[in-house]
Amino acid sequence: MAAIAVDTSKSGTKLLDRRGRWAVVDIVVVVYALIPVLWTLSLSFKTPEAQTDKYFWPTSWTWQNYKDIFTTSEFVRALINSIGIAIIATLIAVVLGTMAAYAIARLDFPGKQFLVGVSLLIAMFPQVSLVSPLFEMERNLGLFDTWLGLILPYITFALPLAIYTLSAFFREIPWELEKAAKMDGATPGQAFRRVIAPLAAPGVFTTAILVFIFCWNDFLFAISLTSTERSRTVPAALSFFTGASQFEAPVGTIKRRLFVARARLKEVLTGGGSNGGDDSPFDLPRFKKPKRELAAV
Amino acid sequence: MSELASEPSAEGQTVEAPSATPAKPVLSEGKKAERRLGLLLCAPAAIVMLAVTGWPIIYSIWLSLQRYDLRFPDQRQFVGLDNYIAVLSDGYWWTAFAVTTGITIVSVAIELVLGMLLALIMHRTLVGRGLVRTVSLIPYGIVTVVAAFSWFYAWNTDTGWLTALFGAQAPLTDRFASLGIIVLAEVWKTTPFMALLLMAGLALVPDDLLKAASMDGASAWQRFTKVIVPVMKPAILVALLFRTLDAFRVFDNIFVLTKGANDTSSVSMQTYNNLIKGLNLGIGSTMSVLIFIAVAIIAFIFIKLFGAAAPGNDPGGRR
């Protein structure tokens, strides 16, 4: 991989050569990232007979898997649970996280370091350690197998993420604007609502997407703290799927993949999650198109 | 982690960050209002976090000292450290612990190398930068269980194209083959996360420095080891810390790929099995506490390595 560290200064004719090498490297990366995705897609389009043929591409195509999956209430219900729980948890976590992150980034108050320390601890917390006590507590409180029973741990584990991301964003916002607002007679509270909040909106949005992905992705809490389709989310339902054939599972995965990809795309749009860099770094149209086609099905 | 342990803790003993504001004898009205607002804004987040983690941890320590099996609720009684003795003298626990540690070390090491390569590629590529950046983040955006199923069906004897490709005999029933596949699934899924964190560090490497090094005749490899890596050290440590702790919690992939068969279960799997399958709250809580302690030790080692670079330690305070 010596090519990687080559610096980008122009050196005439060698440029083309170098471009060629980069193209090869790029292709390797793309193939690496996409193979399992394409494989799942391919499985979902295979007919039941073709599923055991061990070819990477489907030899005969069918939409039947998709039709089946949306006629099982188990899957549709799980999808509703997943979306509902993730959205509610995201909203609450982002609101609480925004408040705390603003205070951490802008205000001086006792216990600030403590809060930062605690949230760092929680970010590192082994989630499985919480499963046993939560299981017992939620059974006693009647929260077991309810939406709230999942939303609470999701908020907790999303908060450190939200606080870190948001306070980083808030630090980039020009401090002077807030001072100016205060000069003009705004209270700290007003300065927060009227000046900082609008400026921080892109950061808040990015955070919301990261948090949403976290909630959407969770599996451990989802299988431990639910027991029926009342609150079972998609990852959990997937692992219990025993439909007409075992191959309904990959079908479910596709739909979720589309959803996640769409959410992630927005994150990418707002430049979150990575240092955006100079040129608009993400090639959106190319990525968007195939997804639309599939989603329309 | 072995490569970290050997790192000299040059920055270990750093100067204490000066306290943000020297204590003032009298607080102005505005200062008081600021303090009040600060506490007020943080309170809800702090309360939720403490209520959902602090209390359950104390509760699980309490539970871990009891014999408490939901199938025999009448036999609930305080047994002191018996549960700990039972778990720690159990072969399954140590097997799971070894498996978890092994998966963590191997996958994090591979991820660090691949993640660094990926970060360099995303940072420097001359063609199709947008495409590479977008596509290489796809694994990170995909639900772990979904990715795990993809690998499961790929290595399955009935359906697997990879099984067919490599002519393997039921790889998911062999212990070491399964562990390899679990590591593969972990690495595929989380390398983009590693690369993302490392890329943020790469952006901090000044181009001038690289050019100067190149002028002085440094080879590409020398520039990488002597310039890029030292500048990126904090970013590398953060990435390693997050990934190590995350890898130690490995659960989803194992659950889908092997269900812990053939001695492939991690400590998280063991806890889940005892708790949800076995309904043994006492033993489950004991394992929870032990995992918590293990993770705390890992975190402590990393924080020691961090020195002043730890995320919470912000010497600049407010600018």
ipTM: 0.73
DSSP string, B95-147: HHHHHHHHHHHHHHHHHHHHHHHHHHHHHH-SS-HHHHHHHHTHHHHS-HHHH
Residues of B within 8 A of A275 (CB-CB) are: 199-200, 203
Give the pLDDT confidence score for residue B13 in this predicted structure: 40
Residue A104 maps to which CATH number? Answer: 1.10.3720.10
Burial of A145 (0-12, 13-18, 19+ CB in 10 A): middle
Residue A25 lies in a domain: yes
- Backbone Cα Rg of chain B: 24
Residue A28 lies in a domain: yes
Residues A58 and A76 in one domain: no
Residues A151 and A176 in one domain: yes
Residues A81 and A109 in one domain: yes
CA distance B284 to B290: 10
Highest mean pLDDT among A82-91, A121-130, B293-302: A82-91
Q: Give the pair of three-digit tokens for residue B107.
A: 């996958």
Mean of the pLDDT values across residues A22-34?
Answer: 85
Q: Give the residue from A233, A25, A63, A97 showing the smallest Cα distance to B123.
A: A25
pLDDT interval class at B27 (50, 70, 90): low
pLDDT interval class at B187 (50, 70, 90): very high
**SS3 for B208-270, per residue?**
HHHHHHHHCCCCHHHHHHHHHHHHHHHHHHHHHHHHHHHHHCCCHHHHHHCCCCCCCCCHHHH
- Nearest-Cα distance to chain B for A141, in Å, is 13
Backbone conformation region of residue B262, classed left if phi is above 0, alpha if psi is from -120 to 50, else beta = left
Q: Domain spanning B82-309 has what CATH number?
A: 1.10.3720.10
Determine if the pTM surpasses 0.80.
Answer: no
Q: Using CB atoms and an 8 Å cut-off, which of residues 207-226 of chain B contact chain A?
A: 207, 210-211, 214, 220-221, 223-224
Residue A186 lies in a domain: yes
Q: Say which residues have a Cβ less than 8 Å from residue A26's Cβ, sequence separation at least 6.
A: B121, B125, B127, B128, B131, B132
- Nearest-Cα distance to chain B for A9, in Å, is 9
For helices B129-136 and A284-295, give the axis angle rounded to 10 degrees.
40
Residues A49 and A182 in one domain: no
Q: How confident is the model over A55-75, as pLDDT tens digits?
A: 777 777 778 778 777 887 778
CA distance B219 to A2: 9
Q: Say which residues have a Cβ less than 8 Å from residue B283's Cβ, sequence separation at least 6.
A: B83, B86, B87, B274
Identify the DSSP state of A61.
B
Cα A144 to Cα A87, A106, A148, A159, distances in angstroms: 19, 39, 9, 22
Residue A10 lies in a domain: no
Whether the CB-CB separation of B266 and B253 falls below 8 Å is answered with: no
Q: Say which residues have a Cβ less than 8 Å from residue A259's Cβ, sequence separation at least 6.
A: A216
Q: How confident is the model over A90-140, as pLDDT tens digits?
A: 999 999 998 888 888 878 888 888 888 888 778 777 788 788 788 888 888
**Of A172 and A275, more confident:** A172
A136: contact with B, CB 8 A cutoff: yes
CA distance A296 to A287: 15
**Residue A31 structural domain:** 20-62
Residues of A within 8 A of B214 (CB-CB) are: 7
Residues A43 and A111 in one domain: no
Search chain B and give the residue with CA nearest A54.
Answer: B161
Residues A128 and A78 in one domain: yes
Identify the DSSP state of B73.
G
CA distance B237 to B12: 13
Cα A193 to Cα A37, A112, A182, A187, distances in angstroms: 43, 21, 12, 10
Cβ–Cβ of A238/B146 closer than 8 Å?
A: yes
Residues A162 and A291 in one domain: yes
Residue at which a domain ends, from A62, A82, A113: A62
